[in-house]
Structure 1
Amino acid sequence: MVEHRWNRLTAPRLRELAAQDAVVLLPVGSTEQHGEHLPTGVDDFLATEVCRRAAALASVPVVVAPSVSCGLAEHHMAFGGTLTLSLSTLHALLRDVCRSILRAGFRRILLVNGHGGNVTALQALVPELTAELAAPIAVTSYFTAGRTAIAEVLETQSHLMHACEGETSMALAAFPELVRTDLLPRAAGPAIALQAEDPAPVHRFVPFGETTANGVAGDARTATADKGAALLDGCARALADLLVSLPAT
């Protein structure tokens, strides 16, 4: 099996991949509460898993960098179990990691986001990073790249929410030992829009506790590992297809 993960490869092998103009996928997740039934690392784990699967499918050389496991999660803090960064810290962290990747000889970096709360920040930061590093840093969210596959697989929702049918299904497929299946019967909450698609005419900070009492948005009770495998593979295929046209310096 071909290894794509940066921290499992040797420096000489990474130099070879840089010389082949490999694309570097940098997963950007979050460590935050996901209700009673899912671990706090869901967004980090799933972004990394989709990147790993996409690397195996891609028609171009790919390296999956170690993930940025914390993001912007202030809205989850009241539930406990959550780590959050300031926007300036996230900016500095991404700048230094991307600079290191470029100094290692790579020219193409795609940030692959796995957390709804990071979406607007990353879209704003990418132009800053591109200017600061003189390199075309790009960003996608795996659930945006794979939106068609997600809509086709899910039964109770058309897009990912939070600790929902989709995230729970993928967790059951990728790391079932971390899912509290005994708590699934009460893992349901109100439906929410993706942050980037919120139709509200005025944006304000809304703590997640104002949306849901149990930390869940969507209905995880219909989650299955089979759905999760289909979601992960569909998102990975969509991500892999994007890499062919990713520009270089």
Structure 2
Amino acid sequence: MKYAEMTAVELKNVSRDETLVILPIAAVEQHGPHMPTATDEIICTAVAEQVEQRLKESLLLLPTLWLGASQHHLRWGATLTTRVENYETLLCEICETILNDGFRRVLILNGHGGNIAPMQISLRRLQVQYRNCQLMAASYWSIAEAEIAALMEGECKTVGHACEAETSLVMHLRPELVRESKIENFDDYALDLVDGVYLCNDMYQRTQKGATGRPDLASAGKGEQMFSVICDRVVEVLQRLGHAPLPTLDGGFAEG
């Protein structure tokens, strides 16, 4: 079910306890010399829509929030953003409208690394008021971490920024938007986690050209395989979590 394509009457008849509401969130920001600024939105929306097609009886898909927390990309330009604290509040307010309408299962499905901390904090803020609701958040790559790693050829086996994984996925989903002549080996980026310590540097400090990893190893075929295993894994996880018992105010669980 797609929220934006339904009428108010149709939405009123959707089960509040049993339906899992998905809010896809992404970003529009610079993605190096070879990738479109909408990379995160393209991938996250495609995953969310494929999952909705397979779980449409039990899943209600909200429109993708394309605006992300991208202040750490601003020095590269070609980036749209909101302040982190504003983004946290925006996520809270969107989810509140769903929760106040009676829905009790909400998942934020993320497609941009800069959104991870804000989405988790947002759920912490919401949980104080909605203790009897199932509040969840995940990046598509964290759900399918092992499956993605198995397809990566470069030394880095995780999703980075305009990297082997993202480039392959967009080559599959929107090949006309990839500037293949501009693809290079961008494996000279600085890590943001060293010996368990998080280093808070922006992307201008971390990369030479605004991209990371080995997009030179990307291909549309790899992207097709990756998209398939990501969607399979997300569907598998949501089928399980979407039917889990709902939390109760006394700390136990009630059947959904």
- TM-score, L = length of structure 1: 0.87
C-alpha displacement at 1:98, in angstroms? 0.8
Q: Which residue of 2 aligns with 1:178?
A: 177
Match of 1:62 among 54, 59, 62: 59
CA contact (8 A) 1:192 1:218 kept: no
CA contact (8 A) 2:27 2:41 kept: yes
Greater fraction of residues in helix: 1
Q: Which residue of 2 aligns with 1:88?
A: 85
C-alpha displacement at 1:79, in angstroms? 0.6
2-side partners of 1:200 and 1:81: how far apart? 32
Q: Secondary structure at the match of 1:132?
A: coil
Give the direction of change, closer, same or farther, for the CA distance of 1:92–1:20 in structure 2 (3 Å limit). Answer: closer
C-alpha displacement at 1:191, in angstroms? 5.0
Give the direction of change, closer, same or farther, for the CA distance of 1:178–1:245 in structure 2 (3 Å limit). Answer: same
Corresponding position: 1:217 with 2:216: no
Alignment of 1:8-23 (within 5 A): 8-18=5-15, 21-23=18-20
RMSD: 2.2
Q: Which residue of 1 aligns with 2:252?
A: none
Tell me the amino acid that sits aligned with residue 230 of structure 2.
Answer: C
Q: Which moved more, 1:143-152 or 1:198-207?
A: 198-207
1-side partners of 2:100 and 2:2: how far apart? 18
Query: Any unmatched runs of 5+ in structure 1?
Result: none
Give the direction of change, closer, same or farther, for the CA distance of 1:115–1:133 in structure 2 (3 Å limit). Answer: same
- TM-score, L = length of structure 2: 0.85
1-side partners of 2:51 and 2:188: how far apart? 31
2-side partners of 1:6 and 1:58: how far apart? 14
Tell me the amino acid that sits aligned with residue 26 of structure 2.
Answer: G
2-side partners of 1:125 and 1:44: how far apart? 20
2-side partners of 1:74 and 1:222: how far apart? 29
Q: Secondary structure at the match of 1:239?
A: helix
CA contact (8 A) 2:21 2:106 kept: yes
Q: Which moved more, 1:56-65 or 1:118-127?
A: 56-65
Q: Percent identity of the aligned residues?
A: 28
C-alpha displacement at 1:234, in angstroms? 1.3
CA contact (8 A) 2:189 2:208 kept: no
Corresponding position: 1:7 with 2:4: yes
2-side partners of 1:225 and 1:219: how far apart? 14
C-alpha displacement at 1:211, in angstroms? 1.6
Corresponding position: 1:38 with 2:35: yes
Q: Secondary structure at the match of 1:137?
A: strand
C-alpha displacement at 1:105, in angstroms? 3.7
